[in-house]
Chain A
Amino acid sequence: QVQLQESGPGLVKPSQTLSLTCTVSGDSISSGNHYWSWIRQPPGKGLEWIGYTYYSGITYYNPSLKGRVTISVDTSKNQFSLKVSSVTAADTAVYYCARDGSHGDNDYWGQGNLVTVSS
């Protein structure tokens, strides 16, 4: 059974960098069969695609977030990570990691990690 689990701090101060890691079990990132996504959802609002990565390290980002977002992959640990720099209150959201078939079809999701940006 494929499982994804987000981990990271639940509180980040404004202007700092938000960092999250997604640990994958039941599948191997290095198999190259899927892309690995980050998606977020502000409280009471809709879903926003952040970006995804492939086992090779190639990444694609939401143009509206490009410049502040970095997604990286560590195949040795079967993990991938998200960094969002210069955060503001608008970055407060539940952050999900997910497995993507390559065109936005995310079939397995983590449970979500609420990150609050506040001083």
Chain B
Amino acid sequence: QSALTQPASVSGSPGQSITISCTGTSSDVGGYNHVSWYQQHPGKAPKLMIYDVSNRPSGISNRFSGSKSANTASLTISGLQADDEADYYCSSYATSWVVFGGGTKLTVL
């Protein structure tokens, strides 16, 4: 039961777009359209940004978007802002349990 694979870090300048990948297997990411993405600022609880691959909860900016191809899901943040600097985690449903990615630190340059 391995964690999903995310890059350790990504960076971008204000106004740019970045994409964070989340790679799993056919037993999790590839097998279900139940991928979620969370944003976590230091010392805070995670915040749900995307669910079911590409759906945004109420109140989440449309600068955040999600997609999936085969066993890899992606989170794209457009128009980067300083407050987007945070850790991002993906998760996937996996037949009666949930697996998280290792997390990606986003730095806004």
Q: Is B3 an interface residue (CB 8 A)?
A: yes
Q: Which of A61, A96, A104 has the most CB of B within 10 A?
A: A104
**B51 close to A105 (CB less than 8 A):** yes
Q: Are B102 and A46 in contact (CB-based, < 8 A)? A: yes
Q: Count B interface residues, CB 8 Å.
A: 25
* A104:B101 contact, CB within 8 angstroms: no
Which positions 42-82 of chain A face chain B at CB distance < 8 Å?
46-49, 51-52, 60-64
Question: How many A residues have CB within 8 A of the partner chain?
Answer: 25
Q: Answer yes or no: B64 CB below 8 A from chain A CBs.
A: no
Given A104-B93, A105-B48, A109-B46: A46 in contact with B36 (beta carbons within 8 A): no
Given known pairs A64-B1, A106-B48, the reply for A47 and B97 (CB within 8 Å) is no
Contact partner of B45 (CB less than 8 A), chosen from A64, A105, A111, is A111
Interchain CB contact under 8 A, B32 and A103: yes
Does any Cβ of A come within 8 Å of B108's Cβ?
Answer: no
Instruction: Report whether B1 and A63 are in contact in the complex, using a CB–CB cutoff of 8 Å.
Output: yes
Q: Is B74 an interface residue (CB 8 A)?
A: no
> Across chains A and B, which 10 residue pairs bring their CB atoms closest together, nearest first?
A105-B51, A103-B34, A104-B98, A109-B45, A103-B93, A46-B103, A49-B98, A47-B100, A104-B91, A104-B93
- State the A residues within 8 Å of B (CB): 37, 39, 46-49, 51-52, 60-64, 96, 100-101, 103-107, 109-112
